[in-house]
C-alpha cells in the first residue's frame, strides 16, 4: 500500500510538472502550436506622418521619434490582431518666440498602413509664446485705445508681469483677470500686483489662456501674444464676449478679422508700435 501511494504521488507530480512546463512554453496559456500561429499572425503597422516644419519634434505615444524633414515614417512593433489607438504630437517653432503643439489620436488595425497629417490647424492646438515685455508707455496707449473706464472687466492672456492690466485698473477698470502658462511669470505678476496695492482688483492665475472659456463678464481683452495665438483665441472671443466688448492687440493681427481702428504710436524707449482694436458686434458674433 505504501509503495502504491508513493507511485501515485510521483505520477501526479510528473503530470503537474508537464502541465506547468507546457504553460511556461506557451503564449499566454496557449499550446506551442497555438502560440506559433498567434506570433505568425502579428503584423507591423506603418505610419507616414506629415509635419509642419523640417525641425518638428515628433512624439508617438509619449516617445520622441528621431528624424527631420516634413515627411516621417514610423513603424510599430509587431502587433496582435485587433484595433489600436496611438497619439501623435508635433512640436515646432514657426518663429523665434513661438512654440506650437498639435496632437492627433489615430485609430487603426494591426498591419494597416496609415497617413497622419499634422499640418492642418485644429481647435485644440496649443501655443507657448516667449515673454517679451511691452514698454510701459505702450501699455498705457493700449488701455487708452481700448477706451477702458469705470465698470470695465479686463482680461489679459499671457500677462507676463501684469503691467497692462495694472495700467487698465489705474485708468478706472473695475477689475482684471491675468493668466499665464509660466509659473515664473505668474509669481512676477502677483508680486507686481501686490506692489501696486491692487490684489483686491486683479486675479492672477496659472494656466493656459486657451482653456479659459467663460469670458461673459469680460468687456476688454488686451493682447501681446503673436499671430498664431491670436488666431487660436479668436473663435473663443467671438463666442464668449458680449456685444460692446473691445479687443486690443499690440502689433499682431487676427487673420481676416479687420481691425476697427489701427494706430501707430511711439515709445519713449524708442521705436514705433502698431496697435489694433476690434469691436465685438452682433455681426462679429455670427462669424463663429
| Domain map (residue ranges) of the chain | 46-122, 131-286
Residues 142-151: b if buried by 16+ CB within 10 A, e if exposed? bbbbbebeee
Instruction: State the burial class of residue 243 (Cβ atoms within 10 Å of its Cβ: 0-12, 13-18, 19+).
Output: exposed
State phi, psi for 268 to the nearest 5 degrees: -65, -20
The set of cell numbers assigned to 31 is: 499550446
For the beta carbon of residue 131, count every other beta carbon within 10 angstroms.
Answer: 15
CATH number belonging to domain 131-286: 3.40.50.150
Task: Tell me the pLDDT tens digit for each residue of 169-211.
Answer: 999 999 999 999 999 999 999 999 999 999 999 999 999 999 9
pLDDT given at position 10: 41
For the beta carbon of residue 165, count every other beta carbon within 10 angstroms.
Answer: 32
Q: Which segments in the chain show pLDDT lower than 70?
A: 1-40
* 195, HSE (Cβ side, Cα atoms, 13 Å): 10
pLDDT given at position 41: 86
* Radius of gyration in angstroms for the set of CA atoms belonging to the chain, rounded to a whole number: 30
How many residues appear in the chain? 288
Place of cell 510701459: 136
- Residues in a beta bridge with 144: none
pLDDT given at position 34: 54
pLDDT given at position 91: 97
Name the pTM for this structure.
Answer: 0.75
Task: Tell me the pLDDT tens digit for each residue of 157-177.
Answer: 999 999 999 999 999 999 999
Amino acid at each position: 500500500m505504501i509503495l502504491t501511494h508513493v507511485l501515485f504521488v510521483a505520477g501526479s507530480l510528473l503530470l503537474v510538472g508537464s502541465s506547468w512546463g507546457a504553460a511556461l512554453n506557451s503564449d499566454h496559456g496557449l499550446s506551442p502550436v497555438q502560440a506559433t500561429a498567434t506570433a505568425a499572425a502579428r503584423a507591423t503597422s506603418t505610419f507616414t506622418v506629415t509635419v509642419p516644419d523640417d525641425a518638428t519634434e515628433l512624439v508617438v505615444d509619449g516617445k520622441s521619434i528621431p528624424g527631420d524633414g516634413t515627411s516621417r515614417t514610423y513603424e510599430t512593433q509587431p502587433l496582435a490582431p485587433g484595433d489600436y489607438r496611438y497619439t501623435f504630437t508635433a512640436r515646432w517653432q514657426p518663429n523665434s518666440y513661438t512654440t506650437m503643439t498639435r496632437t492627433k489620436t489615430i485609430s487603426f488595425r494591426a498591419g494597416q498602413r496609415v497617413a497622419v497629417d499634422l499640418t492642418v490647424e485644429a481647435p485644440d492646438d496649443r501655443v507657448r509664446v516667449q515673454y517679451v515685455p511691452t514698454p510701459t508707455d505702450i501699455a498705457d496707449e493700449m488701455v487708452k485705445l481700448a477706451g477702458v473706464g469705470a465698470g470695465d472687466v479686463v482680461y489679459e492672456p499671457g500677462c507676463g508681469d501684469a503691467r497692462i492690466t495694472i495700467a487698465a485698473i489705474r485708468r478706472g477698470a473695475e477689475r482684471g483677470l491675468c493668466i499665464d502658462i509660466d509659473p515664473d511669470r505668474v509669481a512676477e505678476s502677483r508680486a507686481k500686483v501686490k506692489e501696486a496695492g491692487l490684489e483686491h482688483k486683479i486675479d492672477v492665475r496659472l494656466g493656459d489662456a486657451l482653456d479659459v472659456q467663460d469670458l461673459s463678464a469680460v468687456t476688454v481683452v488686451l493682447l501681446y501674444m503673436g499671430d498664431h495665438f491670436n488666431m487660436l483665441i479668436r473663435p473663443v472671443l467671438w463666442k464668449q464676449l458680449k456685444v460692446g466688448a473691445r479687443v486690443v492687440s499690440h502689433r499682431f493681427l487676427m487673420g481676416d478679422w479687420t481691425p476697427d481702428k489701427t494706430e501707430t504710436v511711439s515709445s519713449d524707449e524708442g521705436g514705433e508700435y502698431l496697435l489694433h482694436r476690434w469691436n465685438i458686434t452682433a455681426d462679429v458674433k455670427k462669424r463663429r
